[in-house]
Amino acid sequence: MSTTSSSEDLLLDQIAEEFEERLRNGEQPTPSEYARQYPQLAEHILPFLKTITELVQTQELLSHEESRTPQPPETGPDLQIIELIGSGGMGSVWKAHQLSLDRPVAIKVLQHQTSGWGNSSQRFLEEARIASLLVHDHIVPVHE
């Protein structure tokens, strides 16, 4: 790969900025489109813009994942939410403190989009009923 002059570096920067802006605006520009437009920089443009494409896609995926992070549930005055323990396809589990009995508790919450699915609510209640029958040191008791 050959080196570029400062004017070519400046042009590459401008191309990269335009390319990234177009990607973020929902367009689908291709590195080869720019390589055809700037043949003198094609060997630099192709790998550079492919990398930018991968970075933008990764940032969008991470941003989408962050937006799906469960939010703490609304609880009554007797419960103080401490932290998220885990989450899955059906809901999330939160560590909390029950103030009236001064004890740690776990709260399982159905996801909002899941709660509208007919069988999900029933499965959730059935899981709670079954878990409430189990008594073991490594199983959190179900209170309600």
Q: What is the pLDDT of residues 27-45, one digit of tens each?
A: 999 999 999 999 999 999 9
Buried b (16+ CB within 10 A) or exposed e, 49-85: beebbeeeeeeeeeeeeeeeebeeeeeeeebeeeeee
d(CA 82, CA 134): 25
| C-alpha–C-alpha distance, residues 14 and 119, integer Å | 53
- pLDDT score recorded for residue 140: 73
How confident is the model over 61-82, as a mean pLDDT? 80
Q: Which residue has the higher pLDDT, 57 or 65?
A: 57
Supply the pTM of this predicted model. Answer: 0.48
Q: How many domains does the chain have?
A: 2
The answer as to whether 23 is a domain residue is yes
Q: Are residues 127 and 102 part of one domain?
A: yes
* Burial class for 19, CB neighbours closer than 10 Å (0-12, 13-18, 19+): buried
Q: Which of 56, 58, 87 is nearest to 71 (CA)?
A: 87
Q: Look up the domain containing 16 and give its range.
A: 6-67
Domain boundary among 67, 94, 112: 67
**Residue of higher predicted confidence among 19 and 63:** 19
Indicate whether 38 and 88 sit together in one domain. no
**Entry field: residues in the chain:** 144
Q: Is the domain of 92 the same as that of 128?
A: yes
Q: Residue 133's pLDDT band (boundaries 50, 70, 90)?
A: confident
Per-residue pLDDT band for 113 (boundaries 50, 70, 90) equals low
Contact 137, 126 (CB under 8 A): no
Residues 85 and 46 in one domain: no
**3 pLDDT tier (thresholds 50, 70, 90):** confident
Q: What residue type is assigned to position 128 of the chain?
A: A
Give 115's pLDDT tier (boundaries 50, 70, 90).
very low
Mean pLDDT of 5-20: 92
* 20 and 50 share one domain: yes
Task: State whether 128 and 83 are in the same domain.
Answer: yes
Residues 86 and 127 in one domain: yes
